Amino acid sequence: MTRQKSIIAVVLVLLAIPAMMTGYAAQQQADQTAPPQNSPQPTAPPQTLKVDVDLVQVNVTVTDPQNRYVTGLDKEHFQIWEDKVEQTIEYFSAEDAALSLGIIFDVSGSMKDKISEARDAAATFLKTGSPDDEHFLISFSNRAELSEDFTSDPGKIQNRLIFAPAKGMTALYDAVYMGLEKLKEGNNPKKALLLITDGEDNRSRYTFSNVREFVKEQDVQIYAIGIVSDFNSQLGSGRTGRALIDDLAEITGGRAFFPDSVYELEDICMKIAVELKNQYVLGYKSTNEAKDGKWRKLSMKMNAPIGLPRLNIRGKSGYYAAVGDTTASK
């Protein structure tokens, strides 16, 4: 490099810090994440992601062996491959991008003794948002329904959660599918879903295969919290319900959590909120110019600066190429 090497800051994210309750901006000032003095600047403005339709963008999370988020990295610390062919990273950003997010909230009968803590956890997540963030709420039991449309007012969603009774069955797949559809209307380029549930689907019209395929077509990260309330839980270790939720999160570069207690929910929601605010965006133009609609598998690697331990990187597993001739836009 021709400029001085950026100082690398490895930051342990402390969960449930009171400063974060007043918003992410306050959390930044409370040293929740401390960017280095020579923190990297994006090489292109965020609007590039909207204008250049041929740019493949990947949101990535970097952690150290203790699961602490790593900030202050530069473009040269990342490598990305598409179908085993290395790509040239042309866009790089470590900015806190505005977020469009849907909360997918289980109000089925099995949530009756957990719904109060789940509501509080969702409210905690909303309080960490930035002014430009927007959220919507989908609740589900016998069917999925849009309880609150896109809004930048967290209070509207919190009020809807307060009056959501727990009853009925679990149309989980329908709710996730609806959430993915709704996110297409989002105003921000960065999109995610937060799923809070305690059970396996037993009511949906859509199958898991339908949802999995639809997820692969979207540029959306899925974060899921599956509450494991007892030994016989459908989301317990080794159970099918757990594996399916884990799979959806992994495909999108998100993450799934399976707490044994409802009292862990608030800390987990805080952790998810902080992760979404501490990601890198990598962008490249694929060397494969074919508009064949095929699945392109992605893999990423970190080149950790000298003095740091081996770092972990997480991002989406792939994407579908556009369909059409080489002159057609996506």
* Residue 141 placed within a domain: yes
pLDDT value of position 238:
83
- Give the residues across from 105 on adjacent strands: 139, 196
Position 44 scores a pLDDT of 42
Instruction: Give me the pLDDT at residue 8, please.
Output: 37
The answer to whether position 330 is within a domain reads no
DSSP helix/strand/coil, 271: helix
Structural domain for 241, as ranges: 1-56+84-287
The residues with which 282 forms a beta bridge, in sequence order, are 58, 92
Asked if the structure places residue 296 within a domain, the reply is no
CB burial of 19-36 (b: ≥16 within 10 Å; e: otherwise) equals bbeeebeebbeeebbebe
Q: Give the pairing of strands 280-285 and 295-302.
A: unpaired
Give the full edge-to-edge strand order of the sheet including 318-320: 85-87, 78-82, 295-302, 318-320
The count of domains in the chain is: 1
Q: Per the domain annotation, does 308 fall within a domain?
A: no
Alpha helices in the chain (DSSP H): 24-29, 48-51, 115-127, 154-162, 172-183, 208-216, 240-252, 265-276
Choose among 251, 193, 201: nearest CA to 224.
193
Question: In this structure, is the dihedral angle defined by the CA atoms of residues 207, 212, 214 and 220, taken in order, positive or negative?
Answer: positive
232 lies in a domain?
yes
Q: β-strands 144-151, 9-11: how paired?
A: unpaired
Largest CA distance in the chain: 62
Query: Tokens for 187?
Result: 């105003």
Give which of 277, 309, 311, 313 is closest to 298, Cα–Cα: 313
Which CATH number does the domain housing residue 183 bear? 3.40.50.410
> Is residue 188 domain-resident?
yes
| pLDDT given for residue 325 in this prediction | 63
| Sites in the chain below the pLDDT cut of 50 | 1-51, 326-330
Amino acid 53: pLDDT: 67
On whether residue 317 sits in a domain, the answer given is no
Would you say residue 307 lies in a domain?
A: no
DSSP code for 164: -
The pLDDT value given to residue 162:
92
Instruction: Please give the structure tokens belonging to residue 89.
Output: 């990273």
Q: Which class for 79: exposed (0-12), middle (13-18), buried (19 or more C-beta within 10 A)? A: middle
* Bridge partners (DSSP) listed for residue 312: 63
Q: Is 75 exposed, middle or buried (0-12, 13-18, 19+ CB in 10 A)?
A: middle
